[in-house]
Each structure stands twice: as structure tokens, then as C-alpha cells.
Structure 1
């Protein structure tokens, strides 16, 4: 298996675009080669099989969606953090659409389901720990509820944005945080 990290990242970025545009059925190593503009067979030098490609796409989506430390530096409230999260996702819709495709594919591939479940569980735990360690309002269960509420909002924002025309997101973010993460009396 090849180890050129820049080429691997470019192939994974191409795979994300194919997955977002064509869905899981359209994701082939040949389609990735074509999207990346590399000779046929290049992707197969980096990924032994489609299952391995799917697992590595998951990791690459997280790399692309992880905020720059400067973006989350300083004293930020939860609503502002959610606004910035939504902004990142809106700037890179194909990445989040690819994640949705991976979730759907996981319903048919037990090995991907297992990996996706472990990966998302670790991500959720990191989000909870980061929130609590930062001293932001709310408790563990509130952060869990906020995570799952945001997942639904993100899906609607990507798939049926007209639905949100009648329910603007900005005020909803504030209400979600206020209701799910009430300030503790000592806050």
C-alpha cells in the first residue's frame, strides 16, 4: 500500500466528492481515480478494497470538519460555537453529505457500522468532555441532547433547507441552548 500522504488525502477528498454526488453505489475506486484526475488504478494502490476506502473517508471527513484552533479560541458561548459549526458544514456541504451516505451504507455493512459507531461515540465523548472542561453551562445529558438535536438540524439544513425558511436557524440555536443547557445557579 502506498504511503504518499498528500496523494492519499487528494484521493480521499475525491472520494468524498464522489460519495456526496453519486451516493454509495457510485463510489468505486475507478470513480475516485477519475475525480482525482489520476491514472486508473491509482486508488487501488492506496486502498486494498472498498471497505477500507469507506473507513478512511470517515476519518478524512473529520479532518476536514475539525475547526482551526483559532476559530474556537477565546471565550465563546455555546450558541456561537454552534453557529461556527453550522458555518463550517455549510462551507463544506459535500463532506457532511458524504457522512450521511456513510451512515446509510453502515446499515448494510456491519463492519462499517461497527467502525462508524465507535468513531461517532468517541467524537461525542470528546464533545461532551470539551464542553464540560470549558466550563460551559449544562451537564453531560444536556450536551448529549444538544448533540442529537444539532444532528437533526444539520440533516434538515443539508437536505431540505426550504423547511428551515419558515423556522430560521439563528433563533433556534439560542432556544436549543437555553432549554437544553440551562445555567447552573452558581453560573
Structure 2
């Protein structure tokens, strides 16, 4: 693998994300990435020689974009010096999930496809480590808010929020919930996350 610039890395991985969202993992090939990115044939394989390297690069890009999204929504991504405002967190997370169901829908689909790929290919299991940061941050936030057993409850909170997102994307929630991208959707998501946070903080 040759060294790649941040711009070239973004172009290749964004093209790969779009392919996975549209065609599933079966559509992810070096040749298809080159074509989607509008780059000369052989570019993707020069930078990311194996399919494993390509998948890992996609997951790294997803993690970077998710972190940027959290910061943009005012959700702390590092140490917390004071107890967080739970209502602000609820609104911030709800807006984030709504974004991931609309403008970021392709990224959300690609994220789940990568996770499913890892269940079938043990050599790709290390990509699951990219989800550890979100759980760690949830534990930090809950500990700052005074939650008992923040370590365990932080993991449970992330799992519940992830389930909420999946339900709205591909489950029954996609039929019954307010349409993504609407004030009703964000209000409903805010109520759901508020309830999850309150449960996580309960004695």
C-alpha cells in the first residue's frame, strides 16, 4: 500500500461507502471504487491493496465522520468537566440520528453492512473496535451525570440507541415512525432518547 493524501483517502472511501449502501458488500470491488470515484483504474488497489484493507479503510472513514457529526451536534467526544445537560444531549443525539436517516443514510447502511460482513469473516473482526469509542464516551457522559454503574449502563445505552436507529432505518419503525427529516421525527427521537437517558440514570 502506498501513502495516500487525506483527500485521496476521502475520495476512495466515500466512493466505497456509496457502493456498499447501494449494492451491499458484494458491490465493493477495487474496480468499482475507481469507477465511482472517477479515478484511473488501479488507483484503489494501489492505495488499499486487499479487500480487507478496503473494508477497514471504509470503517475508519465512517468512524471519523461520525466523530465530526457528534462534535457538530454539540455532543461531547472527550473528557467531560461538568455534568452534561441531559435535555441538550437528547436533542443533540436525536438530531444526529435524524441526520443519519436522511443525509447520512448511505453511511448508516454501509456501517451495518460492514458489521454484518465481520460476522462472516473472522479476519475482519478488528473493525468492531471502531465502535468502542462511542461506548467509552457514553460511559464518560453517564459517569459525569452521576449514573450508577456507568460502565455497564453506558454500553447498554449505546446498544439501545443503535437499535433505535436500526429500527427507523430497516425495521418496523420505518413504517410507523414520523418521516425522517421532519420536525416530528426529531421530536419523537428526542423523546425516545430522553427516556433512555433517564433510565440509564435511574437508581
Shorter-chain-normalised TM-score: which range? 0.7 to 0.9
Q: 1:120 aligns with which of 114, 131, 154?
A: 131
Residue pairs, 1:37-48, within 5 angstroms: 37-48=38-49
Verify: 1:65 aligned to 2:70, yes or no: no
Aligned residues: 179
Residue pairs, 1:153-172, within 5 angstroms: 153-160=164-171, 161-165=174-178, 168-172=188-192
TM-fit CA distance, 1:142: 2.5
- Distance, in Å, in 1 between the alignment partners of 2:45 and 2:142 is 43
Decide whether the 8 Å contact of 1:65 with 1:89 is kept in 2.
Answer: no
> For 2:4, what is the secondary structure of its paired residue?
coil
Decide whether the 8 Å contact of 1:156 with 1:164 is kept in 2.
Answer: no
Specify whether residues 149 and 73 from structure 1 end up closer, same or farther in structure 2 by C-alpha distance, changes over 3 A only. closer
TM-score normalised over the length of structure 2: 0.78
Decide whether the 8 Å contact of 2:73 with 2:93 is kept in 1.
Answer: no
Residue pairs, 1:49-88, within 5 angstroms: 49-66=50-67, 67=69, 69=71, 71-72=73-74, 76-77=85-86, 78-88=89-99
Residue ranges of structure 1 left out of the alignment (5+ in a row): none
Verify: 1:98 aligned to 2:118, yes or no: no
Q: 2:195 aligns with which of 160, 175, 179?
A: 175
> For 1:146, what is the secondary structure of its paired residue?
helix
TM-fit CA distance, 1:105: 0.5
- Distance, in Å, in 2 between the alignment partners of 1:126 and 1:76 is 15
CA RMSD of aligned residues (A): 2.3
- Distance, in Å, in 1 between the alignment partners of 2:75 and 2:137 is 17
Match of 1:31 in 2: 32
Specify whether residues 70 and 30 from structure 1 end up closer, same or farther in structure 2 by C-alpha distance, changes over 3 A only. closer
